[in-house]
Amino acid sequence: MGEVATVDAWCREKLSSGPPPVVVQPVIRDASVAWEVLRQAESTTDADLAILRAMFTQSPVSLAVLDPGLRVVRINTATRRLLDTPPEHVLGQRLTEALVFEEPDTAEAVARRVLKDGEPALNQLFRGAQAPGLLKRIYALSFVRLEDSRAEVLGLVVSAIDVTDREVGRQRMAVLESVRARVGQHLDVVAVCDEFVDTVVPDFSGIAVVEVVEDVVRGETPPLAPVNGDLPLRRAAFRGPVSAYPVGDVRPLPYGTPFSRVLSDLRPRLVPVEKDSLWVSADPVRAEAIHRSRAHSLIVAPLALRGEVLGVASFYRHQDEDPFTEEDLALASDVCAHAALCIDNARRFARERTIAATLHRRLLPRHPEPQTTVEITPLHLPSPQGGGSWFDVIALPGARTALVTGDIEGHGVAAATTMGQLRTAIHALAALNLPPDELLAQLSDTTVRLAAERAALPPSDPLRREPLTATCGIAVYNPVDRNCTIACAGLPQPVAVFPDGRSVTLPVPTGPLLGSAGDEPFPATTVDLPEGSTLAMGTSLLADKVLSPTGPLRPLLDHGSGQRLPDLCDTLAYAVENGGRTEESLMLLARTRTLPAGQVLDGSLPHDPTAAPIARKEARRRLEMWGVDEETASTTELVVSELVGNAVRYGAAPLRLRLILDRMLTCEVSDGAMSAPLVKHARTVDESGRGLFIVAHLAELWGVQYHAEGKTIWAEQPTGHAQGG
C-alpha cells in the first residue's frame, strides 16, 4: 500500500509542479489506441501535459490507471463522483473492489486478457451491484494497455461511461417491439394472454398476471368503465414463481385494491408493495403470494379499448430486480394497449366463430327423418373454427333415398351460409326427381351464380376475395332394384362394405368441383348393393383416413359389417380423435334394407286399349291385400287408369306398371317413348285430354323420370289403411 501511495503522490507532484521526467500520452497503433510513456527528452511541449491534466481534472469520462496487478494508482475527477467512499480509500484497491459489479470475475478476466494480449476491449457493458431497491447502474468500460517507449507493460487505463439511461431505454424499446411482434399470433383470447406474459417475462418483469373479463373469453361484448364490483374475471395467464390463484380461476377483484381501481378509471398505477399498505389487507391470498415471491414493485394497467373493459394486467418485480419507474409505467401502458387490441380481435373472432357454429348446426339436419329402406348414421366431427360440411337424407318417389355429403371450403359465417344455400338448392332440385349426375350439374350451375354474386360484392368486402369452392357427392339408393346410383363432384370415391365382410372402393369417377370452369360432366355409376350393405361417403379429410385403401382407419370400416351402425360410427370417431383431428370431418354411413316382395306390384302391360282395365284390376286386388282404405284405393285406381291410358295413347311399347307401398303409395307407369308429358286443360265438350290434369289434382306429388330408353311417370299419395287393417 505504501508503494502505491508513493506512485500516486509522485504523479500528483509532477502534474502540479512542472514537467515530469516522463510523459504518458495516447497514440494510435494498428487502428487501436495505446498509452505511451516517454522520457522528458522524447516528449513534446507542455501541450501534452495540458492534455493529460485536462483528462484527469475536467473530462466527463471516468478514468482510472491500474498497475500490472490491476490495483488503482490514479483516478480522475469524474471517477471520484462515482464513488461512495473517499478517493484515498480507493487507491491501492483492485479494480473490482473499487467499482463493484454484479459479475466481478468477468470484469477482471477482461482486464487480464487486455493486459496480456494488448488488444483493447472497448465498450464492454457491466451492471453495477447496487443495494436492493435501487436502480442498478450500467457502465460501458473500455480497457487499454499502458506501454512505455520500449513496449514494456506499465498497467491499464480503464474508462467508464454511465450508459444506464441509454441501455434501459433500449431494453424498453426491445420489449415493446417484441410485444408487437409476438402477441396476437393466435385468435384465441387465452392464447393471446399466454403470448403476452411469455413476452414480458423476464425482459420487463419477473412476474406477470393477466385477468380477463369472463364475458370477453366467451366472445361477448365487454362492459364499459366503470364496471360493477362483482364483475367476474378469469385468471387467463400467469408467469412467475408463486400464483395467488390457479390459472382458469374466475372471481371478482376485491374492492379497495389497485386492481379494482384500475377497472374503474382505466388509469395505470405504479404501486409500492409494502406490508402495511391498506390494499394488501383487502386480498390476503394475493398478499401471501406477493410476500412469498419477494415482490417489491408493482404496476397495474388496464386492458381496455374504446372505453370497454377487457381485463387487467399486473407486473411485479421481485428479489434483486430493479424497481419500476415512471418510464416503466408508460411502457406498461403501451404494451397493454397492444395486448388489448389483440384480445379484442380474438374476442371478435370467438364471437364470429360461435355465430358460425350455431348457424352451421341450425342448417344441418339435426335428426334425419328415419327411412324404412336405409339406416342412416352421420359421423360429424366439427372443428373449433367451424366449417361448411353437411349431409342430407332426402326421400324420393318409389321408396328411393338420396344420400348427400358436401363441403364448402373455408370457415366462419360465409361457409355456413353458403352451405345453407346449396342445401336449399339440393332439396328443390331433388323434388324434380333428377338422377344424381343431372342433379350435380344443376347444383354446379347454382354454385356458379353464387360465386358471381360474391365476385360482385364491393371491393371493401373481404368475402369478395374468398373463392367459392365446394364439393358434393350424391347417392340414390333403390330398394326395389337393390342398386345405388352415385355421382361425385370433387369428393373421394365411396366405399361399400358387404354383409359377408368384403369391402370395395366403388368405381365412381371423381368429377370436377362444383362451380368449376368448363362443361365437364359428372359421371354417374350404378352398383348393386345387397341388403345389409354399408355405404360410406365422406369429405376429403376424413376420407383420407377411412375410405382410402391405405388409410390408417380403413380396417375399422372393413370389420364393421357385423357392428351396429351407431357403434361403428363411435369406433371411427374415437380413432379419429386419437389421431389428432384439427379440421372439420364428416362421413355419412348408410346401411341398406330392401322392401319385402309383398309391398311391390311390378308387371308388364300390353300396348293396346286393354291395358287400362288390366291395370285397374291388378291394382284393386293388390290394394285390398295391403289393407288400403276404400277412398285411397279408389283414388289410386283412377290414377293408375289415367296414367296407363295416357301411356297407351301417347307412349310406346313396352308398358310397365309398378305399385310400391312404403311411407307413401307410389304408382309408376313406364313406356318406351321420350316425349314429355303435358298437362292440358280440356274444354267441357272435349272427351279426352284430362288424364294428367286429373292425376295432378288427385296425387300429392307427381312427375316424370327419364331413362336411357323411355320414361316413367309417377304419382304419390299418402297410404290409407282400412279400419283394423
Q: Kindly tell me the number of DSSP H helices and DSSP E strands found in the chain.
A: 21, 29
CA–CA dist 725, 721 (Å, integer): 6
Helix (H) or strand (E) holding 67: none
Q: What is the pLDDT of residue 691?
A: 67
Q: What is the pLDDT of residue 139?
A: 82
DSSP letters spanning 420-452: HHHHHHHHHHHTTT--HHHHHHHHHHHHHHHHH
CA–CA dist 99, 136 (Å, integer): 13
* φ and ψ of 450, to 5 deg: -65, -40
Q: Kindly give the interhelix angle for 611-626 and 630-650, rounded to the nearest 10 degrees.
A: 150
Q: What is the pLDDT of residue 562?
A: 81
Averages of pLDDT over each 10 residues, the chain, 725 residues = 42 48 55 53 56 70 83 77 67 77 82 87 80 68 82 83 81 91 91 95 94 92 88 94 92 89 92 80 87 91 94 92 89 95 92 78 75 90 76 91 90 83 91 89 91 87 83 94 93 92 90 82 92 90 82 85 88 72 80 89 91 92 90 90 89 92 91 77 47 80 85 87 44
Can you name the residues that pair with 269 across neighbouring β-strands? 300
Helix (H) or strand (E) holding 540: helix 540-546
pTM reported for the whole predicted model: 0.67
CA–CA dist 410, 387 (Å, integer): 6
3-class secondary-structure state, position 250? strand
Q: What is the pLDDT of residue 37?
A: 56
CA–CA dist 300, 291 (Å, integer): 17
CB-CB contact of 709 with 666 (8 Å): no
Q: What is the pLDDT of residue 392?
A: 92
Domains, in order of start, for the chain = 2-162 (3.30.450.20), 167-354 (3.30.450.40), 372-592 (3.60.40.10), 597-718 (3.30.565.10)
Helix (H) or strand (E) holding 306: none
Range 167-190 burial, b when 16+ CB lie within 10 A, else e? bbeeebeebeebbeeebbeebbbb
